[in-house]
Amino acid sequence: MTLVKSLMGRRQFLVAAGVTSASALAYGKPAGADSKVIQTSAAVASEKEGTAGARVVTNKYPHLLSPLRIRNVVLKNRIMLTPSPPHSLQGPENFPADAFRAHYSQMAKNAGLVTIVEEFGQWPKTYDSSSMNFGPSHYSDSMWEDIPPVHNYLQQMVEEIHCEGALVCCGRIGSGTRGAGGQGAQGGGGAERGGAAPGGAMPGGTPGGMPGIASGNGMPGGAAGGGAGPQAQASVSIEEIVTQAKKLEDKGYDMVEVGERGWEGGVESVRADLDAIEAVRKATNLIIVAVILPFTPGLSRGNPHYMVDERSGDKATGPEMEEVLKMVKMIDGLADIVRMKDAGHYTNHPNSFTMEKGKPWMLRFSQAIKESGANIITCPTGGFHDPDLNEEWIASGKTDMVGMATPLFADPEYVQKLYEGRGEDIVPCVLCHDCHGVSRTEGPWFDVCTVNPTWGLSETKKKSIKPPTSVKKVAVIGGGPAGMKAAITAAERGHKVTLYEKNDALGGLLRHTDYTGWKWTYRDFKDYLVRQVDKAGINVKLNTTATPSMIKSNGYDTVLVATGAEPVISKIPGAEGKNIFNIMEAYSNKSSLGKSVVLIGAGTFGTETAICLAKDGIKVTVLASGKFMIPKEHIGPHNKENQIDIYENHPNISYVLEAITTGISDGKVTYSDASGREKSVHAESVIIYGGLKPRMDEAMTFSDSAGRVLMIGDCTGQGGTVQKSIRSAYFAASQV
């Protein structure tokens, strides 16, 4: 019997681009996939679910997926990919490189409208070392030279998006802090980046190209090159704006954002752009998108123009509801779409610490606009991830569209799964924002996705995964995120998988998310993995401590060891006393902590634990041994800003840096501060977090339990985050 015949009827792993849906086999070759791999995969489609072509699925999302006509164009669905250029997706190329273009092509498979941020710098490109203090100015995400060969690549990218049936929007032209026209002469191309070109090096509107069109990442204009800041907006004539718009139309763009960035000045800032919007509408066939950044008292946080390390959490500004409605009334009939996101620099990149599940802040603004009788199409953004809720909100008339970006990074088959009626199988985005860049100042200089192990990697790397040569009998030791991902991946490659978990439930360290409402995104991801383990037909043995002899006796071909990590046992004098918990115990014993705790240890996990407890009403004092609560190299452009803002401002959190704990006794924790002085703090309970220790010794006992043994996740000593564990598990299992 041939290999293909022997594998027929089994669920097969889809190689390339992180695709995990066997049903995608019926829809052609995924981007970046090797044809031989896909041919093999096509032959081993699931007998449990059948191929997608054999199923008849009723559209469960008729409103979200319905076409939308806007004047002279039609959107294929109601999803907009919002401006979201991954800052480190490509290197120092002077043009949109293959990885960048492939990313947007993949996004176009999902979104009906794809927004590209286009920004031109000086030619020839130079390196500005001063910009290294602010990561986005160093990243080469969309800072391209304004020369014809670059326009060639850009037009190719636009055409590749059109190939997927999506339309392309460019933002932004006109006046304001996103940079355009005469602004380039003062701040160098994109004013808000301030690093695209040294001040005065490139006047806006160079021959044959466009003025700088910046992405709006929060850097005051010209900060790296001595140009104008956000308050020094240069005047751009209507004629110049129309010229810019016509050039975009010539390049193949379908839509354009016109006006000031978010119109933070309210009604008056809108009034200044009305003539320009009308002129563009008359001179071109471009659909016009207006952007408003509404302000919500008590929620909006962060000044969008803050400098590096300037924490300005209480300085968000923007129009409130009444003024937003007045602004919309002014542009209704001129602009076609109004896109909204929160006014705060921190909160317009929400996460589970700032946004409740299923309650995106911009929905109420969209609903109010619809109820006002305005004809403009609404597109709120920021937290619109859940397809079932998106369907409900569009069906009920609360909004016309939704904007998103990171959910499509997390699952490149987001829309395909919706067409198949499998919304529950969409990989949930955890809102970590590491896709913006892992670090802002120290590196590493690349983007990752916590839940999609192949996102951000080269097409060459994705193609390196080969199909299996035979069906293997596989054991996975450990049911944490790494173990579950490895088991799912191996099962999708057609193997017979048994998963051993010593506890009574799957989840590993992520089980702590069941005890807090402030890590709901990671809880959703953990629950998703559990569901997929069940759907993949994996034999799960709970309450079973695997031993090397047990594994040997069952004759497995391959063993994937994911024994994980555990909290380090503290050696602080008194650490064995009453009301003292390790960090995992603290979550499950929250009701026993009392009203005040001392948390010894910080870092990302420790700091987020303090935030969870504080938001639940417990007073927390953190004693951090380092100079920072969260290491600087772990802080990217947007990925830890909300956490920093919370711990610096929350009334229930206090912290001491460079504090060395010396003892615990009767609810009193003694420590020496940065100057060596001995101090103490009282609390009803103490939580100790000294990091996580890999269960490496336990893992190594399985080294000779099968012909092939692979260690994955935290037990290798190379883990430490969910992202690293998931990527490790995926690529290890892809070798089987």
Q: pLDDT, tens digit, for every residue of 434-455?
A: 998 888 777 788 899 999 999 9
Residue 644: the pLDDT is 94
Rounded CA separation 246/252 (Å)? 10
pLDDT in tens, 446-489: 899 999 999 999 889 999 999 999 999 999 999 999 999 999 99
Task: Say whether pLDDT at 20 is over 50.
Answer: no
Of the listed ranges 306-310, 315-319, 602-606, the least confidently predicted one is 306-310
In order of 217, 224, 387, 418, the CA distances from 58 in angstroms are: 41, 54, 15, 10
DSSP codes, 689-720: ---EEE-HHHHHTTTTSSSEEEE-GGGGTS--
The position carrying tokens 């049936």 is 165
What count of other Cβ atoms lies within 10 Å of the Cβ of residue 615? 17
Q: DSSP letters along 148-164, please?
A: HHHHHHHHHHHHHHHHT
| Arithmetic mean of pLDDT, 597-610 | 97
Lowest mean pLDDT among 305-319, 353-367, 482-496, 596-610: 305-319
Give the tens place of pLDDT for each residue, 112-165. 999 998 777 777 766 555 544 444 444 556 678 888 888 899 999 999 999 999
The pLDDT, as a whole number, for residue 307 is 59
Q: What pLDDT digit, counting tens, does each position of 488-510 carry?
A: 999 999 999 999 999 999 999 99
Any idea what DSSP says for residue 470? Answer: S
pLDDT computed for residue 177 by the predictor: 34
Confidence label for 623 from pLDDT (cuts 50, 70 and 90): very high
Write down the pLDDT at residue 141: 64
> Is residue 511 within 8 Å of 526, Cβ to Cβ?
yes
C-alpha to C-alpha distance for 167 and 288, rounded to whole angstroms: 13
Rounded Cα–Cα distance for residues 669 and 615 (Å): 23
Q: What is the pLDDT of residue 656?
A: 98
Strand bridging mode 558-561 / 708-711: parallel
Spatial distance between the Cα atoms of 392 and 359, rounded to a whole number of angstroms:
13
- Cα(204)–Cα(236) distance, rounded to whole angstroms? 10
What's the average model confidence in pLDDT over 686-690? Answer: 96
d(CA 197, CA 221): 11
pLDDT at 261: 76
Q: For 276-299, write each residue's pLDDT tens digit.
A: 999 999 999 999 999 999 999 999
Token look-up 């909100």 returns 393
**Per-residue pLDDT tens over the stretch 503-532:** 999 999 999 999 999 999 999 999 999 999
Pairing of the two strands 73-75 and 68-70: antiparallel
* pLDDT score at 16: 35
| Cα diameter, the chain | 80
How crowded is the C-beta side of 116, counted as CA atoms within 13 Å?
A: 35
Instruction: Say what the pLDDT of residue 126 is.
Output: 63
pLDDT at residue 687 tops 70: yes
Q: Is the per-residue pLDDT at 195 higher than 60?
A: no
For residue 620, pLDDT over 60 is answered with yes
Topology (CATH) of 468-566+693-736 = Rossmann fold (3.40.50)
Ranges of H-type helices in 190-257:
238-251
The pLDDT score that the predictor gives to residue 129 is 54
Tell whether the model's pLDDT for residue 680 goes beyond 60.
yes
The proportion of the chain whose per-residue pLDDT surpasses 90, expressed as a percent, equals: 68
Model pLDDT, residue 175: 54
Q: Any idea where the domains of the chain sit in the sequence? A: 68-436, 468-566+693-736, 569-690
Question: Which CATH homologous superfamily contains domain 68-436?
Answer: Aldolase class I (3.20.20.70)
Name the residue type at position 20.
T
How many C-beta neighbours within 10 Å does residue 388 have?
14
Q: What is the pTM assigned to this prediction?
A: 0.86
Domain at 569-690, CATH homologous superfamily: FAD/NAD(P)-binding domain (3.50.50.60)
Q: Higher-confidence residue: 27 or 156? A: 156
* 172-181, 272-281, 347-356, 663-672: the lowest-pLDDT one: 172-181
Are 694 and 711 within 8 A, CB to CB?
A: no
Higher pLDDT: 358 or 36? It is 358
User: Of the spans 206-210, 273-277, 473-477, which averages the highest pLDDT?
Assistant: 473-477
Strands (E), 216-340: 255-258, 287-292, 337-340
For the chain, state the CA radius of gyration.
27
